[in-house]
Amino acid sequence: MLLFDSHCHPQFPDYDQDRGETIKHTLKEGIFMICVGTDLETSKQAIELAEKYEGIWATVGLHPTDIHETYNLKLETWEELLKEDKVVAVGEVGLDYYRVKDNKSRAKQKEALNQFLELADKYRKPLIFHCRDAHKEMTNLLSEWCSIHDRDKNTNHLGVVHSFTGSMEEAKKYLELGLYLGFNGIITFTNQYNEIVKYAPLEKILLETDAPYLTPVPFRGKRNEPLYVKYVAEKIAELRGLSYNQVAEQTFENTKRLFKITNPK
Ligand SMILES: [Zn+2]
């Protein structure tokens, strides 16, 4: 049974000692990966991995916690990366008000997010959104953007809110906007999101690990890896009363659909 880890960072230094091994044993188990960039450097590294391995795709983006008061987004640089063959999305980008408290930096995050939305639009790519403690600002910004750009939620797959940790109400808002929700190991060690996992249409759920972070049960305390995405699939199956295969198959299709991956291998 094939699985898609729609959000992981195998390019991070955590895997410097065993990156090749980690990737190979994951692919051997039939698990494909979207390797997500968080700044210029890790975006380039994501592209390198995608070029090296079949079964890995890359995204390019700048994490909101890396955007500071004086940050100047060099659009041309990002555009060059977006033209690369195996780049399937812009991300991760978004708003993080949990770690960033000062208003100028927060305003800068919004400005950058708007710029990345324009870039994604220009290159017809979906986005991977990171959002922490800023769901209200995020949904406002996105609905405004969608209405200005005349985006129809039924036909236009804007992107995914990765590592979703908002409320039920916020989940509903995102779903109304046509967004997907990404769930990871968090749902294996807290019950807090059970109702949302059950409520969201299965066609709108993506599996992810966010490896090397957020290691699921039964490996809490150890480094996470993309291979463990199967525990996320198991948990969703358990919560929704479905078989593991049903969850694996549907979320695999969802990932292909959102990132326009027609012939994964
Ligand atoms: Zn991430």
Would you list the domain boundaries of the chain?
3-259
Looking up tokens 């090397």 gives 212
Rounded to two decimals, what is the model's pTM?
A: 0.96
CA gap 37, 90 in Å, rounded: 9
Q: How close is the Cα of 36 to the center of ligand 1, in Å?
A: 7
d(CA 222, CA 133): 26
Count CA within 13 A, CB hemisphere, residue 228.
Answer: 24
Q: Compute the distance between CA of residue 217 and CA of residue 202 in angstroms, rounded to an integer.
A: 22
* Ligand 1 centroid from CA 234, angstroms: 21
- What pLDDT digit, counting tens, does each position of 99-151 carry? 999 999 999 999 999 999 999 999 999 999 999 999 999 999 999 999 898 88
Residue type, 195: E
Task: Give tens-digit pLDDT for 52-91.
Answer: 999 999 999 999 999 877 777 888 999 999 999 999 999 9
pLDDT in tens, 157-191: 899 999 999 999 999 999 999 999 999 999 999 99
- Domain at 3-259: CATH code: 3.20.20.140
Cα–ligand 1 centroid distance for 214 (angstroms): 10
Helices (H), the chain: 19-28, 40-52, 75-82, 103-122, 135-148, 168-176, 186-189, 194-199, 229-240, 244-259
210 alpha carbon – ligand 1 mean position (Å):
5
Distance 110 CA to ligand 1 centre (A): 19
Give me the pLDDT at residue 73, please: 80
- pLDDT for 265 equals 66
Average predicted confidence (pLDDT) for the chain: 95
| Å from CA of 104 to ligand 1 middle | 24
